[in-house]
Structure 1
C-alpha cells in the first residue's frame, strides 16, 4: 500500500504540474476568448477524446449505470463551481489574493475530512498543511488587505475545489477511471456551455480572429489533452490510493509550477518572498510525504460515507 501511495502521489504531482504549467497559456487564451466559452470547448474536446478511447479500446468499461452518472454529475458540478467562482471572483479582487484564498482548499480538505469522514490526521500531515498554507500566503500576498466581495467568491471557489477532492476520494474506488473522468468532464462542459449562453458573447469564439489564432488553438489543444483528459483520468485512477488531505497538499503546489512557468515563459520575476513561499509549499508537501500514510486515514478516505 505504501508503494502504491507513493506512486499515486507522484502521478498527482504530475497532474498538478500540468495545471500550473498551462496557467500562462490559459491566461493568454481567455484574453481573446470568453472564459466560460473557452472552458466549455476545452472540456468538451477532453470528454470526446476519452469517449473515443473507451469506444475503441475499452468498450466493456463504457458504463452507463445511474451511480456512475450521478458521480460524474456531482463531481462535474463542484469542479464547474470552482471554475465559475474563480472566474467571477477575479473581477472583484486581486490575482494575488485570489491565488491565496483558492489555495485554502489545502486547509478545508483536512477540516472536512475530520468532520465528515471522521479521519485522524497524522502530525506530519498537520505540520505539512500549516507549512503549505504559510507558503501560499508568502507566495500570493505582498500586503494585508480587507476582505471584499471578490474574496467571498474566491472562498466559495476554494470550498468547491475542496468538495471535489473529497468526493473524488469517495467515488474513485467505486468506478473505472476512464468513464468516471469522462462523465465528470462532460458535465463540466455542459455547465460551462450554459454559463456561456447566459452571460457571455460566446459568438466571439467562432470569429475568424479567434478560430485561427494559434495561441488560442494551442491553449485549447494542450489544455484539453494534457491538463484535462489525461489529468482527470489520472486523478480518477490514482486518488483511490492516497487520501484527500494529501491530494490537497499536492494540489497546493500548482501556484509554484505556475510561478516557475511564468518566470521561464513570460519572463515574470519572482520576489524573494515569493521564492520563500514556494519553498514553504514544497516543504509542506514533503512533511506529509515523509510522515507516511496512516492506514486508517487511507481506508477511511476510500470508503467512508459522506
Structure 2
C-alpha cells in the first residue's frame, strides 16, 4: 500500500468516527424536544436524497436495478436504518444525558458483536481469545452503564429499558452490515448504502405515520425544527452522508479489519464533547470506557496477527 493512499485512508476513517462521536451528544440535545421517530425520518429522508444523487452520478441508472433482491434489501434496510435509529435514539432519549456515551460505547462494540453473530450464522467455533476479550469489553460497558454499581441498572427501570433498546439497535446494524458483505457483496458500498437507505426510509416514514395516526407520537412544532436546524443538518449531512461515504472509501483503502480499529475513537470523541457540554462523569465510567476500548484494540491486533499467520 502506497504511503499517500495509507494516509488518505486514515484521514477518511478518522473523519468518519469523529463525526459519529460528535453525533451522539448533538442527538441528546435534539431528542430533548423531538421524538426519535421524526428525528430519524428527517435525518434519513434528507440523507437518502443525497445518497441517490451520488449513486446516479457514480454508477448511472443501471445501479438502481434491484436484481430480484428487493425483499432482502427491504429487510436489511429496515433493520439498519429504521431498527438501529429508532431503538438507539429511543434508548438514548429514555436514559437522558448519559445515553450518548452508552450509545457510542455500543457502536464501538459493533466489530466484536459482528464476529459473535457471524459465529452463530456460520456455526463456526469462535476463537477463545475473542470470547475472553468479549467478556472484558462487556465488563467495561457494564461499568459505564451502571457507574460501578449494578443496583443503578436494576433500581432504575428506565435505564434497563434504554440500555436494552440500544443493544438491540446495535444488533440490528450488525445484521445490516453482514447483509452488505454477504447477500450484496457483489454491489458497490455506495449502491448498497443508497438503495438500502431508500428501503429503510420507506419503513421509517410508514412507522412514523402509523405512530402519529395512533397518537403515540406527535410531529415536532415548526419552531422546534427550526431551532434544531443546524443540529439536524449535522446528523444528516456530516454524520450521515459524509461519514458513510468516507467510511466506505476509507475501508476500501485500509481494508475493514484496519478500518474497524478507528471505531474505538467514537466513544472517546463522545466523552470529550459531552464533557465540553457540561456533563460530569465518575472515574469508574472513564475506567469502564478505557477497558472496553483497550479490549477492542487487543482483539483487532489479534485478528491482524492471525491474518498474517494464514
Distance 1:121 1:171, change over 3 A: same
Where in structure 2 are there 5+ consecutive unaligned residues? none
| Map of 1:84 onto structure 2 | 86
**Correspondent of 1:112 among 113, 117, 123:** 117
Q: Which moved more, 1:119-128 or 1:134-143?
A: 119-128
SS at match of 1:66: coil
TM-aligned CA deviation for residue 17 of structure 1: 2.9
Q: Give deviations 1:187-210, integer Å, cap 9, x for gaps.
A: 2222221222122477743x4413
Per-residue CA distance 1:64-117 (angstroms, 9 max, x = gap): 133564454232111222222335555766776893895675664332222212
The one-character-per-residue Cα deviations of 1:253-295 (angstroms, maximum 9, x if unpaired) are 543332221112x121222112212221221222123224344
- With over 3 angstroms needed to count, the CA separation of the structure-2 counterparts of 1:30 and 1:152, relative to structure 1, is closer
Which of residues 131, 140, 165 is equivalent to 2:136?
Answer: 131
What is the aligned counterpart of 2:188 among 176, 180, 183? 176
1:283 aligns with 2:297: no
Where in structure 1 do 4 or more consecutive aligned residues deviate above 6 Å?
Answer: 3-10, 91-95
Give the aligned partner of residue 33 of structure 1: 34
Q: How many residue pairs align between the two structures?
A: 291
Q: RMSD of the alignment, in Å?
A: 3.9
Change in 2 beyond 3 A, CA 1:49/1:88 = closer
Which residue pairs with 1:304 in the alignment?
none
| 1:57 to partner: Cα distance | 4.3
Partner of residue 74, structure 1: 75
In the superposition, the TM-score normalised over structure 1's length comes to 0.75
**Residue 36 of structure 1: CA displacement?**
0.9
Write the distance in 1 (CA, Å) between the matches of 2:280 and 2:297. 25
Which TM-score applies when normalising by structure 2?
Answer: 0.75
- Paired position in structure 1 for 2:169: 157
Distance in 2, Cα, partners of 1:16 & 1:97:
18
Q: Shift in Å at residue 24 of structure 1? A: 1.6
The answer to which of 274-283 and 250-259 deviates more is: 250-259
Residue matched to 1:146 = 154
Work out whether residues 107 and 129 of structure 1, in 8 Å CA contact, stay in contact via their aligned partners in 2.
yes
Give yes or no for contact 2:48–2:198 (8 Å, CA) kept in 1: yes
Asked whether the equivalents of residues 41 and 189 of structure 1 are also in contact (C-alpha less than 8 Å), the reply is no
Question: Unaligned stretches of 5+ in structure 1?
Answer: 299-306
Provide closer, same or farther for how the CA distance between residues 52 and 94 of structure 1 changes in structure 2, counting only shifts above 3 A: closer
Residues 61 and 281 of structure 1: CA distance in aligned 2, closer, same or farther (over 3 Å): farther
**Which deviations, in whole Å up to 9, do the C-alpha atoms of 1:138-190 show, x marking residues without a partner?**
22222213396725544433432332233233246321122211112222222
Pair 1:263-2:275 in alignment: yes
Decide which of 186, 210, 219 is 2:224's aligned counterpart.
210
